[in-house]
Structure formats: structure tokens, C-alpha cells
Structure 1
Amino acid sequence: MNSKFQHLDLVDILSERHFLLRSITEKLWNDSSEIYISNSEWFIMARIYKKQPTISYVSKHVDISRQATHKFIKSLESKGLVEIHNVENNKKEKCLCLTPLGEECYEKNEALKATLEKKIEAKIGSENLSLLTEILKLDWGLYNEKQ
């Protein structure tokens, strides 16, 4: 067992592993691409991929303040990754979609994460990876899910 995690409880271990995985995936992307994309921007892109959600929907379904979400969306738009469109019959709402470049980046990042998952599988074994994945997907009965 990794001595760094020996004295941590479940919540802190999950948090540390999450932070580590996000840091690794962000570095893998940014080392292989000229377009810098932050973890917060990836969270937003994940909510948009293959959908056309409204900005308010995205704001409610990412754990980022509404103001920061708008800032990240503008940043994604300026990078050519996201387009903002008017919603038909609604002058107030705007919807989002990934541009072809945005979809390409998202799919390349998914491939990078799959490679990382293969490294984890090689280290802990297929059965342990499957078991871990299934345990994390279970309803832990802690709260009503937002989505």
C-alpha cells in the first residue's frame, strides 16, 4: 500500500486519488496539445458533448459558481471549442454545443484517460479495476443525486 495513503480515511483517499488523476490527465493533455484546457473546462465540455444544453443547465450541473461557469464558457468559446446559440422561442436562454474542434479535443482527451485507465489496470489487475468501478457506481444512499 502507498504509505502516503496509509493514515487517510475513505473520503480523504478518494479526494487524493481524484486530485492525482485529474492532475495527470490535465498534464497529459496540455503536454500533447497547443490548446490549454483546465479541469473546470473539461467538466463543462463533458456536460455539452453530444448534447445542446442551456447555459443554465450546465451551470446547475457542474460544481462551479454560476459566474465562473460563464467565464469558462466564454474561454471555451474564444478557443473555438464551444458555440453559443439562441434558444428558439426564448430570448433569455442560450444553448451550447461543441464545435468540431471541441468534439475532436474531447474525444482525444477520452483516449488519454483510457490509456491512463489501462495503466491502472496493469498495476492493480482487471478484476480489481472492475470491482472498484462497480463499487464507485453503486448507490451509496448518501443523498439524492442531482442528475
Structure 2
Amino acid sequence: MKKKKAVSWLNSEFQNLDLVDLLGERHFLLRSLTERLWNDSHEIYISNSEWFIMARIYKKQPTIAYVSKYVDISRQATHKFIKSLESKGLVEIKNAENNRKEKCLSLTKLGEECYEKNEALKATLEEKIADKIGSENISLLKEILKMDWGLSRDYYNNTENK
């Protein structure tokens, strides 16, 4: 009974939200769910922030500065999360080839395995959502989210100065 009340509360709460808040609430709900699903079934605890960082590293060797720039986490917190990922054996930190001050990141074999398992977990979640709202709607939603909305990180900075 509790689950039904929670679902109907969510649905009624979502009815009065604008686009930005709807996207934010759904994002928060999905991220919380995927984090809980992972952490309930695996020995290595990985936070959403750590997953976000791992996504920027997967199959690449970016610098710490690059990762810090493209995750919406403070530089200090990003460094803390990277150290945590390193201590869990998920990330390796190396000196950059061309610049000894810069450090490059890569996922370890364990890090890649965890990342790929989490991708499979998210794919399963997407299938469950598709069962509820239809695979055509999932495809349409993904296409809409991929479109150029005429906004960027620079958009806010440009409008702020006017």
C-alpha cells in the first residue's frame, strides 16, 4: 500500500512542475534508484558523483583538470572523489606525457568492469521504463533530449551580462 501512495504522490506532484523542475526531479529519481540498485547488489560502494566522474574517464585518459571542468562538482570535491575512486582500485592516476604538472586518469580493469555492469543495470532500468511508457516514447524522449536546444553553458553567461 505504501508503494502505491508514493507513486500517486509522485504523479500528483509532477503535474504542477515546469520543464526544468520535471527534468530535475526525474533525473534525481533515476540517479537515486541506479545508485541504490548498484550499492545494494555490489561490494564496492560508488556514489552518483563517482559514477559521473567515471563516465568522463571511460575509454579515455582525460586530465584531472578536464574532468573537473566537465563535472558540475567543485574542484576540491572532484579531487576528493578521484582519490576515493583510486583507493577503491577503480581509477589510476598517472603523469601526463607532455606536462609533468598535469595528471591523467584512466579506469582500471576493475573500474571498466564496474562501469560496464552499471551501464547494463541502467539499460535494464530503461527497459522497465519502456514497458510502462512505450519504447516509441523512450526513443522520442531520447531524440528530444539530444536535440540542440540553443542553450549551452555560455548561454547563461551571455544573458547574465546583458
TM-score by length of 1: 0.95
- Counting strand residues as a fraction of each chain, which structure ranks higher? 1
Q: What SS does the aligned partner of 2:100 have?
A: strand
* Structure 2 counterpart of 1:128, one-letter code: N
Deviation, 1:89, is 3.2
Deviation, 1:144, is 5.3
Q: Of residues 70, 74, 82 in structure 2, which corresponds to 1:73?
A: 82
Deviation, 1:143, is 2.4
Matches within 5 A, 1:83-102: 83-102=92-111
Could you list the runs of 5+ residues in structure 2 that have no partner in the other structure?
Answer: 1-7, 155-162
The percentage of aligned residue pairs carrying the same residue is 83
State the partner residue of 1:138: 147
- Counting helix residues as a fraction of each chain, which structure ranks higher? 2
CA distance in 2, matches of 1:130, 1:9: 22
CA distance in 1, matches of 2:36, 2:15: 26
State the partner residue of 2:57: 48
Q: Of residues 116, 120, 128 in structure 2, which corresponds to 1:107?
A: 116
State the partner residue of 1:5: 14
Q: What SS does the aligned partner of 1:91 have?
A: coil
Identify the structure with bigger relative contact order (alpha carbons < 8 Å, sequence gap 6+).
1
CA distance in 2, matches of 1:7, 1:55: 40
1:39 and 2:48 matched? yes
TM-score by length of 2: 0.87
* Structure 2 counterpart of 1:118, one-letter code: E
CA distance in 2, matches of 1:144, 1:23: 25
Q: What SS does the aligned partner of 2:45 have?
A: coil
**For the pair shown, which has the larger CA radius of gyration, 1 or 2?**
2
Could you list the runs of 5+ residues in structure 1 that have no partner in the other structure?
Answer: none
Deviation, 1:44, is 0.3
Q: What SS does the aligned partner of 1:90 have?
A: coil
State the partner residue of 2:70: 61
* Structure 2 counterpart of 1:35, one-letter code: I
CA distance in 2, matches of 1:25, 1:88: 36
Runs of 4 or more, structure 1, over 6 Å off, are none
How large is the Cα RMSD of the aligned pairs? 1.2
